[in-house]
Amino acid sequence: MFLVLVNFLIHSLWETIPTTLQLGNYYPLILGLIGGTLVGFTQRFLGPYPHTLEETLHEFKATNAVAYKHAVTRNFFAATIVLAFGASLGPEAALSSILGGMISWLGDQMKLTLARKEQLVNLSIGTMLSAIFHAPFVGISDSLEEELKKDHISIKWKKVVVYGLATIFGIIGFTTINQMFPKESVLGIHIPIVIWQSKVLFLIVPAIVIGLLFGYLFLMIEKISNQIAKKINHPFILAITAGLLIGLLGMISPYFLFSGEHELLPFSKSYKELSRGFLLFLAIGKVILTNLCFAFGWRGGKIFPAIFSSAAIAFTIVSYFPYTPGLIVGIVVAASVTIILKQPLVTAALLLFLFPIQFFPIIVLVCYLAKSIDSWIEKRS
């Protein structure tokens, strides 16, 4: 229902109002500045909301709970503004913080033990991620990822069954709400099937390398954005600056706006109509906008924008070498997102139904190869 509200506000602010009032090309700039002002107020008077998924889990581990008195409403209010006014960020950060607070409240009412609360928080967040990303195995893959870090895997089948049931009902509920309030599906990037030719093999290694480099570019821009924000250190200036950037880029192309979730499918169908220079500009520009938005107070999730911008750089390559676009895009996105998230299994689970199922074995291999290369580089540095 949070996403229903956000989608309603996005439709009203970005489609209904400018169409009805016949507002000019400068409307995105005006809306970005209004949003920047509102975000500045929330950052100044409410604090750094919404909290991210990592912050929510860290808070739980540090305090054995996620704050819910006033925190849930603050997360809800701040996230609604950020997402409705066009930030290049996704909803998963806000939803995890809202869920964490609600689950902590529920655990207190039921007088659950700490272990039960932790299970409930992890289960709810895993189900939420599975629903919004249409990726049923994200939650369990995250648990397996943690076990791999401990150098052992101990599968608890009761947990797998409970997670599976929660995911099924979560996706059913989410799909039901989407049927009541339709939106375009993100499932299935529109790309031709793989045509195995000898020349395709020569593109695989460059595709992996470009994916790796783009992932590191994302992390470098993230670091630079945080450094800039620390130097300025003024919530209003930061928020309005980000709003100004959202407005300016929104005037150039709507692809810069929002997380990229709803735009990914039409973008994959129309990329041939865009110039190579614009595709490159879109890929790098969205990375810059995403990280500046987050660092400058427009807080949200980075997973969807990371996938979209990685796809944009992949389509740039495909425009030069159109032999097997599906495979190239899958490889680039898998390598890039693995570097950004540092979780190969979670990345593979996220991309499972985004690409044709026959790509999945290749995507898994690329994810683990990218993680191995990343670990080797970290050890060397």
45-86 residue pLDDT tens: 888 888 887 888 788 777 777 777 888 888 899 999 999 999
> Quick check: 380 pLDDT over 90?
no
Q: How is 330-357 classified by DSSP, letter by letter?
A: HHHHHHHHHHHHS-HHHHHHHHTTTS-G
Contact 365, 331 (CB under 8 A): no
pLDDT in tens, 8-28: 999 999 988 888 887 778 899
pLDDT score of 116 more than 80: no
- Residue 199: pLDDT band with limits 50, 70, 90: low
Residue 236: pLDDT band (50, 70, 90) is: very high
Q: Does residue 374 surpass a pLDDT of 60?
A: yes
Q: What is the DSSP letter of 143?
A: H
Averaged over 295-316, what is the pLDDT? 93
Question: Which pLDDT does position 209 carry in this prediction?
Answer: 94
* Percent of the chain residues topping a pLDDT of 70: 89
DSSP 15-64: IIHHHHHT--TTHHHHHHHHHHHHHHHHHHHT-S-SPPHHHHHHHHHHHS
pLDDT in tens, 322-370: 777 888 899 999 999 999 999 898 899 888 878 877 888 899 999 999 9
The domain ranges of the chain are: 2-180, 198-380
**Distance between CA atoms of 336 and 367, rounded to whole angstroms?**
9
Are the C-beta atoms of 310 and 332 separated by less than 8 Å?
yes
Q: Region 255-273: what's the mean pLDDT?
A: 86
Which pLDDT score is estimated for 186? 52
Residue 156 confidence class, pLDDT cut points 50, 70, 90: low
CATH class of 198-380: mainly alpha
- Tokens for 177, please give them: 């709400």
